[in-house]
């Protein structure tokens, strides 16, 4: 199978390249910046002519669309840029994928919800984003599904992986350099390891039931709880982790964008198909830290 990946230079995209290659598929890696190695090329997902040309040249069987503008506060400052990347970009990619008969797997976010529900959100709950980031990703979902007949939308949450900058790396770095941490404690979700997202995505791709799926590691925690567990597992349990409210965090770190207090996702579409086998977030974090430690020693 020929797999074209957008955002292939990013945290998820880098792992996706390795994942699909390991499963014996031919990978066409695209990113807004040139990538090293053969089988890759730059791609501006906001330029339909460019996207179409790449799709027509490679004629992929599957498009894994991971490219996005993910800086939440950056999206709030520049909503036009957010909608160009996350809505128009998905529209272009989906339309071009449809023209070559490809399946589309598009990555979305827990930020499509407002966080006011008492329990976890299912795929059947109505979205109501609080931010331009969430709104632009929701628009991207809709453009993708209306433009490409065979589309899987995978909403995930609190994503991290072994490549690039992410929350676990930031927490460990600040623990070493600052000696104490201040972390928001009233926002709840499910940390998700890229490896588990990709493995579950591959499972989902085997079914003809296209549509929206929630994919995250099992369980829930706060950002404060996540940080504390990272430090405990990393052998730094004595580093103080001070709890902040969302309002205190916005002032201290200059992050005024409203974020959902509860963005816990329930993998209900997988549950209904008896395919919800994803592991707890604590187990995934342990594997991540082992991999990160092994990488540091090489």
pLDDT, block means (10 residues), the chain with 298 residues: 97 97 97 80 96 98 98 97 99 99 99 98 98 99 98 99 93 95 97 98 96 98 98 96 95 92 98 95 97 70
Distance CA 82, CA 109 (A): 14
Distance CA 130, CA 155 (A): 16
Q: Which of 133, 160, 210, 213 is catalytic?
A: 133
Q: Within 13 Å and on the Cβ side, how many CA atoms surround 235?
A: 3
What pLDDT is recorded for position 256? 87
What pLDDT is recorded for position 38? 64
Distance CA 250, CA 130 (A): 15
Question: Nearest to residue 86, comparing CAs of 145, 29, 143, 126?
Answer: 143
3-class DSSP assignment, residue 212:
strand
What pLDDT is recorded for position 40? 81
Mutual angle of helices 194-204 and 281-297, in 10-degree steps = 120
Q: What is the DSSP letter of 218?
A: B
pTM: 0.95
Distance CA 114, CA 9 (A): 30
Pairing type for strands 188-189 and 221-222 reads: antiparallel
2-159+191-217+265-279 belongs to CATH 3.20.20.140: no
Distance CA 218, CA 279 (A): 6
Residue 205 contacts residue 264 (beta carbons within 8 Å): no
Pairing type for strands 192-193 and 159-160 reads: parallel
Distance CA 266, CA 119 (A): 9
Distance CA 37, CA 224 (A): 39
Distance CA 193, CA 168 (A): 11
133 is catalytic: yes
Angle CA 41–204–273, to nearest 5? 170
What pLDDT is recorded for position 34? 80
């Amino acid at each position: 199978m020929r797999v074209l990946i957008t955002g292939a230079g990013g945290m998820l995209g880098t792992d996706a390249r390795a994942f699909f290659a390991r499963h014996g598929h031919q990978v066409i890696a695209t990113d807004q910046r040139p990538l090293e190695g053969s089988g890759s090329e730059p791609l501006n997902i906001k330029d339909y002519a460019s996207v179409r040309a790449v799709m027509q040249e490679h004629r992929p069987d599957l498009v894994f669309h991971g490219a996005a503008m993910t800086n939440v506060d950056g999206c709030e400052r520049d909503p036009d840029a957010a909608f160009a990347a996350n809505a128009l970009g998905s529209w272009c990619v989906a339309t071009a994928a449809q023209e070559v008969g490809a399946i589309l797997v598009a990555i979305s976010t827990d930020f499509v919800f407002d966080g006011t529900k008492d329990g976890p959100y299912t795929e059947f709950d109505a979205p109501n984003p609080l931010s331009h980031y969430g709104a632009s990703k929701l628009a991207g979902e809709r453009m993708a599904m209306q433009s490409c007949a065979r589309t899987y939308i995978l909403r995930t949450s609190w994503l991290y992986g072994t490549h690039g900058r992410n929350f676990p790396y930031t927490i460990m770095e600040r623990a070493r350099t600052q000696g104490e941490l201040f972390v928001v404690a009233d926002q709840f979700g499910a940390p998700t390891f890229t490896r588990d997202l990709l493995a579950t995505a591959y499972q989902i791709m085997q079914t003809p039931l296209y549509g929206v799926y929630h994919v995250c590691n099992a369980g829930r925690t706060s950002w404060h709880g996540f940080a504390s567990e990272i430090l405990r597992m990393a052998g730094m349990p004595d580093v103080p982790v001070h709890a902040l409210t969302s309002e205190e965090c916005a002032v201290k770190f200059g992050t005024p964008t409203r974020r959902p207090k509860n963005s816990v996702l329930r993998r209900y579409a997988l549950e209904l198909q008896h395919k919800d086998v994803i592991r707890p977030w604590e187990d995934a974090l342990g594997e991540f830290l082992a991999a990160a430690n092994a990488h540091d020693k090489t």
